[in-house]
Amino acid sequence: GDSVTQMEGPVTLSEEAFLTINCTYTATGYPSLFWYVQYPGEGLQLLLKATKADDKGSNKGFEATYRKETTSFHLEKGSVQVSDSAVYFCAQGTPYTGRRALTFGSGTRLQVQP
């Protein structure tokens, strides 16, 4: 079945470092792709999304580009802050199977040190 693979964490960075969290997906066709963020003790919040190839989603300084040729949707941020410490989940939609639920990766914990 469809799956989403994320790099394992934790990822530990110093403040103002560059962030990349890798994500690859397996759904056929053109699924929508999402990044969610989960801060400690909270539910998941939608961070950004992209709905077609070469789309770039962006929000709060984070960006991710929908790459059909490599089936990837890597999350990037140029300069992380301590407040970005959280767990990040990549997810894909699956429109062609009729499945209404998104498929999530296992999550990547980011720790940013001052």
Partner 1 sequence: DVKVTQSSRYLVKRTGEKVFLECVQDMDHENMFWYRQDPGLGLRLIYFSYDVKMKEKGDIPEGYSVSREKKERFSLILESASTNQTSMYLCASSTKLLRGNQPQHFGDGTRLSIL
Q: Which two tokens stand for residue 68?
A: 């059909």
In the complex with partner 1, which residue's Cβ is closer, 71 or 106? 106
Cα separation of 77 and 83, whole Å?
13
Minimum CB separation of residue 93 from partner 1 in Å reads 4
Minimum CB separation of residue 15 from partner 1 in Å reads 26
Minimum CB separation of residue 44 from partner 1 in Å reads 4
Other CB atoms within a 10 A radius of the CB of residue 37 amount to 20
In the complex with partner 1, which residue's Cβ is closer, 17 or 104? 104
Q: How far is C-alpha 33 from the geometric centre of its chain's CA atoms? A: 8
In the complex with partner 1, which residue's Cβ is closer, 15 or 21? 21
Cα separation of 88 and 30, whole Å?
22
Helix H or strand E encompassing 109 = strand 108-113
Contacts with partner 1 by CB under 8 A lie at 31-32, 34, 36, 41-46, 49, 51, 89, 93-102, 104-107
